[in-house]
Amino acid sequence: MHDLIKMPFLVRDDCTDNWTWNKRDKSHEVRLYGRQGFTAHFHPNWSNGTAGVRGTRILNYGKHYWEIKISQRIFGTSMMFGIGTQRARLHVDAFVNMLGEDGQSWGLSHKGLLWHNGKWRQYTKPFKENEATTVGLLFDWNQGTLTYFKDGLSLGVAFTGLNKIEDDLYPIVCSTAAKTEMSLGLRKRSYFNLQDRCRAVILSKLRGENELDNLPLPNRVKYFLKDAMVH
């Protein structure tokens, strides 16, 4: 039976994570909009293939949770949410399940199918077309698992053994459907170490980068603090 899990308890002892979609690591058929480019817009004119975008966060440590808010335009061959290495493709001129097409990525399609290494299996019911929804992903590096949530409801562990992957892993989304959108929502992660925890406390007291620039701190410390801000 699926459990409704409150978000603050997904990643215990956590902090807000400020990664976003990577404007330099995406298909030419993806446009980034909104505050800090949180919204990925796929195939702005028409679609003749599959387009994806990678996130800026490397996932190979601790726990990470992030949400993807999908607009009511849910349709087409494949809209997918998952993770992959730097070698996972972000564009192909064909309508395919690009996440999970090979050993470099792992993905869930809006049709309820899990894909990896070119193989699929049924995981959940197909998403209702033309109905907005929120997909959550919980990546646990220590356990090597990726778990999906749909509108706050856990769908169970989807993939295992991910902590055996030696390459860096990143969040990825892709879509074959024209004029579809996916926006980043809540993002949380566990701390790297005590230094990381201290940085999070300092940043929680600041209102922005300008306020940080005015602090009487060495430049090296300022760079360290800014590295955790949205960029």
CATH of the domain at 86: 2.60.120.920
Rounded to the nearest angstrom, the gap between the alpha carbon of residue 181 and the centroid of all alpha carbons in its chain is: 14
Residue-range definition of the domain harbouring residue 209: 194-226
Q: Are residues 55 and 142 in the same domain?
A: yes
Residues 114-164 have pLDDT tens digits of 999 999 999 999 999 989 999 999 999 999 999 999 999 999 999 999 999
Q: Are residues 205 and 138 in the same domain?
A: no
Helix axes 194-204 and 219-226, enclosed angle (nearest 10) = 80
Is 1 domain-assigned?
no
Q: Are residues 133 and 215 in the same domain?
A: no
Q: Are residues 206 and 99 in the same domain?
A: no
Q: Are residues 37 and 57 in the same domain?
A: yes
Q: Are residues 107 and 176 in the same domain?
A: yes
Amino acid identity of residue 68, one-letter, is I
Q: Are residues 112 and 199 in the same domain?
A: no
Structural domains in the chain (count): 2
Whether residue 173 has pLDDT greater than 50 = yes
Q: Which residue has the higher pLDDT, 7 or 179?
A: 179
pLDDT value, residue 1: 35
Q: Do residues 55 and 170 make contact, with C-beta atoms less than 8 angstroms apart? A: yes
pLDDT value, residue 199: 79
Cα torsion at 156, 162, 94, 77 (round to 10°)?
Answer: 0
Is 127 domain-assigned?
yes
Q: Are residues 81 and 176 in the same domain?
A: yes
Whether residue 2 has pLDDT greater than 60 = no
- Which SS3 state, helix, strand or coil, does residue 194 take? helix
Is 138 domain-assigned?
yes
What residues does 39 pair with on adjacent strands?
33, 183
Is 22 domain-assigned?
yes
Burial class, 94, CB count within 10 angstroms (exposed 0-12 / middle 13-18 / buried 19+): exposed
Q: Are residues 139 and 185 in the same domain?
A: yes
Residues 34-88 have pLDDT tens digits of 878 999 999 999 999 999 999 999 999 999 999 999 999 999 999 999 999 999 9
Q: Are residues 134 and 76 in the same domain?
A: yes
Is 2 domain-assigned?
no
Q: Are residues 96 and 209 in the same domain?
A: no
Is 94 domain-assigned?
yes
